């Protein structure tokens, strides 16, 4: 089979080739493109049996242009950028890289909580300007109530890290789930009681606009919200209004309605009580190496079943 890596997944071509050595020894052709170039995806994959990529959208036009395609090995956790219904109709197997970024995203969530509380970005700017001292006293996350929305692997890891910082952890989950040291509550209770709300749910029809003006109105004026899940889980316009009018204290976001670079008219850009990051939660060297192993293992399992 012809296996095409549409991008190097944040690693060197040599590292990917080394990971794919067994596939080559089995007689499979492995093509690895050294750059990420979405406009060339169809050209690069048109005769592929298996395609490996991370989060570039692959829709019906791509599938139409790749008649040999049998499998997509996605180097990402979420699959909302893939036309799953069309893949199912065509019998194309789709695997993700579940679990590769659990530690990376969980650590980033804690980092954003502390960064927002301690005004890290603002104080860095002040220090570099050589014009002043701290803008204001910060806050400690210790002894605060952290509300975790979604108790999947990442949400559970965030809960454990928050506990290590001395936080009281409550959580909302779609179904009942028992996690040591975490109190499960309903959505309204979580919104009312949390000093910090951190989102770790998948994006679907039920969770789109999970946080709107209605939910923001329930939160404490001193509360902050952290989103390292998917942008559309929060209504951007409503969040901007709440931040502008002091309904909540701050927001730290690593995900948006559209991937960075953000459009210049995004209402969050001019707000000072925000931390805006370019979707880097998953991006650590350790996570990249782990996900390479996962996607190659998924491919090896698929081709093994086909032999």
Q: What is the pLDDT of residues 191-228, one digit of tens each?
A: 999 999 999 999 899 999 999 999 999 999 999 999 99
As assigned by CATH, the class of the 102-276 domain is: alpha beta
pTM to 2 decimal places: 0.89
Active-site residue identified among 119, 139, 200, 230: 230
Q: Given this model, what pLDDT does residue 74 score?
A: 98
* Nearest in space to 153 (alpha carbons), one of 109, 187, 211, 186: 109
Active-site residue identified among 259, 263, 285, 286: 259
Q: Does 307 score more than 70 pLDDT?
A: no
279 given a catalytic annotation: yes
* Residue range 84-124, pLDDT digits in tens: 999 999 999 999 999 999 999 999 999 999 999 999 998 89
Q: Does 243 score more than 90 pLDDT?
A: yes
Residue 247 pLDDT level (bands cut at 50, 70, 90): very high
Q: Which two tokens stand for residue 56?
A: 């570039």
Q: Residues 9, 56: contact at Cβ < 8 Å?
A: no
Q: Give, for 29, the enclosing helix (H) or strand (E).
A: strand 29-32
* Biggest CA-to-CA distance, the chain: 68
Q: Given this model, what pLDDT does residue 206 score?
A: 94
Residue 283 pLDDT level (bands cut at 50, 70, 90): very high
Q: Is 120 buried (19+), middle (13-18) or exposed (0-12) by CB count in 10 A?
A: middle
Q: Given this model, what pLDDT does residue 87 score?
A: 98
Residue 292 pLDDT level (bands cut at 50, 70, 90): very high
Sequence ranges of the domains in the chain = 2-99+285-306, 102-276
The Cα 237–Cα 255 span in angstroms is 15
Active-site residue identified among 103, 241, 279, 297: 279
Percentage of the chain exceeding pLDDT 70: 99
Q: Does 131 score more than 90 pLDDT?
A: no
259 given a catalytic annotation: yes
Are domains 2-99+285-306 and 102-276 of this chain identical in fold? yes
CATH of domain 2-99+285-306: 3.40.50.720
Q: Residues 44, 21: contact at Cβ < 8 Å?
A: no
Instruction: Please name the residues in contact with 77: beta carbons below 8 A apart, sequence gap of 6 or more.
Output: 96, 97, 98, 99, 100, 101, 282
* Residue range 142-172, pLDDT digits in tens: 999 999 999 999 999 999 999 999 999 999 9
Mean pLDDT of the chain: 95
3-state class of 60 per DSSP? helix
* Nearest in space to 110 (alpha carbons), one of 293, 289, 281, 299: 281
């Amino acid at each position: 089979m012809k296996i095409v890596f549409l991008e190097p997944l944040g690693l060197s071509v040599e590292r990917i080739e080394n990971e794919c050595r067994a596939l080559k020894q089995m007689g499979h052709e492995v093509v690895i493109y050294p750059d990420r170039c979405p406009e060339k995806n169809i050209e690069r994959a048109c005769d592929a049996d298996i395609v490996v990529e991370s989060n570039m959208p692959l829709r019906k036009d791509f599938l139409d242009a790749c008649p040999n395609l049998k499998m997509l090995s996605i180097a990402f956790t979420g699959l909302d950028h893939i036309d799953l219904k069309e893949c199912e109709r065509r019998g194309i197997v789709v695997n993700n890289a579940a679990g590769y970024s659990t530690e990376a995203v969980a650590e980033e969530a804690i980092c954003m909580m502390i960064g927002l509380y301690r005004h890290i970005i603002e104080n860095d700017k002040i220090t570099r300007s050589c014009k002043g001292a701290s803008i204001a006293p910060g806050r400690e996350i210790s002894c605060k109530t952290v509300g975790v929305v979604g108790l999947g692997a990442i949400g559970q890891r965030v809960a454990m890290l928050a506990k290590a910082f001395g936080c009281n952890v409550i959580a909302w989950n779609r179904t009942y789930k028992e996690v040591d040291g975490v109190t499960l509550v309903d959505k309204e209770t979580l919104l009312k009681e949390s000093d910090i709300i951190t989102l770790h749910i998948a994006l679907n029809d039920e969770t789109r606009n999970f946080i709107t003006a209605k939910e923001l109105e329930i939160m404490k004026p001193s509360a902050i919200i952290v989103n390292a899940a998917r942008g559309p889980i929060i209504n951007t316009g409503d969040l901007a209004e709440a931040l502008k009018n002091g309904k909540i204290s701050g927001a730290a976001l690593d995900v948006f309605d559209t991937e960075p670079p953000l459009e210049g008219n995004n209402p969050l850009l001019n707000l000072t009580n925000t931390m805006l990051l370019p979707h880097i939660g998953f991006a650590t060297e350790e996570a990249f190496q782990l996900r390479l192993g996962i996607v190659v293992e998924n491919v090896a399992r698929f081709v093994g079943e086909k032999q």
